[in-house]
Chain A
Amino acid sequence: RKEVEQDPGPFNVPEGATVAFNCTYSNSASQSFFWYRQDCRKEPKLLMSVYSSGNEDGRFTAQLNRASQYISLLIRDSKLSDSATYLCVVFNAGNMLTFGGGTRLMVKP
C-alpha cells in the first residue's frame, strides 16, 4: 500500500464549478500535511497547509481528519488557471516529505 494515496483523475470540470480532492495516508504518526500544486514540467509549489480545524485561503479550503487519516482539498469557483496536478504531501518524523501520486484537474471554459 502506498503511503499517500490519491485518485489520479483527471477531473474535468467547467469554469465556476466546485471540485473536491481526497487523499489518504497510512502512517498514523505523520506530523503535518500539505497540498502542493504542480504545473506540467515544473516543480511543485506549496499551495497550503492542512490543519484539523480546517483552513481556508480564498477559494481553497483544506481539511484534515486524523482519525480517518484523510485529507481533502476543495476548490470553489474554478478558474482556467487552476488546471494543474494537485499533490497531497505528508511530513513525517524523519523530516521528509512524502508525495502522493497527484490528482490532475482540467478546468474547461
Chain B
Amino acid sequence: GAVVSQHPSRVICKSGTSVKIECRSLDFQATTMFWYRQFPKQSLMLMATSNEGSKATYEQGVEKDKFLINHASLTLSTLTVTSAHPEDSSFYICSARGPNDHRADTQYFGPGTRLTVL
C-alpha cells in the first residue's frame, strides 16, 4: 500500500518555541492531506484539511495562527506549532489521499509525531 512518512517521530521542545512537523507521501501524489491530534486515551481529532496549493481548512476550535499548515507540493505538507505550550503536547498524525482516492480506505496515515513541550 501507499506509504506516508512523518518527521520527526518525536520532539521535545521548550515552551515558547516553534516546532515544524513534516508529512510526506512517498509513492503517490497527495492532493489532500489531513492533520489530526490525539491526546492520551482520546481519539483522533481532525485539526485541518489541506489541499495542495491552497489554504488549509481548519476545524472549529483550531487556531490557524497557532497551527500553520503549508501544502506547497504534491508530496509534502508541514504543520508548524508556533509558540508551543505544554497543553500542545500531543500525538500529531497526518494522513494523505491521492487525486482519485475518494474512498475512506484510500486515506493513508503517517506514523505520527509525538510532541512534548516542557
Using a CB–CB cutoff of 8 Å, the interface residues on chain A facing chain B are 8, 32, 34, 41-46, 49, 87, 89, 91, 95-102
CB distance from A66 to the nearest CB of B (A): 16
Chain A hits for B41, CB < 8 A: 8
Q: Name the one of B46, B91, B109 contacting A96, with C-beta atoms under 8 angstroms.
A: B46
Using a CB–CB cutoff of 8 Å, the interface residues on chain B facing chain A are 34, 41-46, 49, 91, 93, 102-105, 107, 109-112, 114
Residue pair B109, A34 in contact (C-beta under 8 Å) = no
Q: Name the one of B34, B91, B104, B111 contacting A89, with C-beta atoms under 8 angstroms.
A: B104
| Closest Cβ neighbor of B41 among chain A residues | A8
Most chain A beta carbons < 10 A, residue from B102, B103, B105, B111: B105
Residue pair B43, A87 in contact (C-beta under 8 Å) = yes
Show 23 A/B contacts (Cβ-Cβ < 8 Å), sorted by A.
A8-B41, A32-B103, A34-B105, A41-B112, A41-B114, A42-B111, A43-B93, A43-B109, A43-B110, A43-B112, A44-B44, A44-B93, A45-B109, A46-B105, A49-B105, A87-B43, A91-B104, A96-B34, A96-B49, A97-B107, A98-B46, A99-B43, A101-B43
A-B contacts besides A99-B45, A101-B43, 13 pairs, CB < 8 Å = A32-B104, A34-B104, A34-B105, A41-B114, A42-B112, A43-B109, A89-B104, A91-B103, A91-B104, A96-B46, A96-B49, A97-B107, A98-B46
- The distance in angstroms between the C-alpha atoms of A16 and B42, with both chains bound, is 28
| Closest Cβ neighbor of A95 among chain B residues | B102
| Closest Cβ neighbor of A33 among chain B residues | B104
Most chain B beta carbons < 10 A, residue from A8, A41, A45: A41
Residue pair B43, A100 in contact (C-beta under 8 Å) = yes
| Closest Cβ neighbor of A43 among chain B residues | B109
Q: Name the one of A41, A46, A49, A101 contacting B91, with C-beta atoms under 8 angstroms.
A: A41
Chain B hits for A44, CB < 8 A: 44, 93, 109
- The distance in angstroms between the C-alpha atoms of A100 and B107, with both chains bound, is 17
CB distance from B95 to the nearest CB of A (A): 8
| Closest Cβ neighbor of A32 among chain B residues | B104
Chain B hits for A91, CB < 8 A: 103-104
Residue pair B43, A43 in contact (C-beta under 8 Å) = no
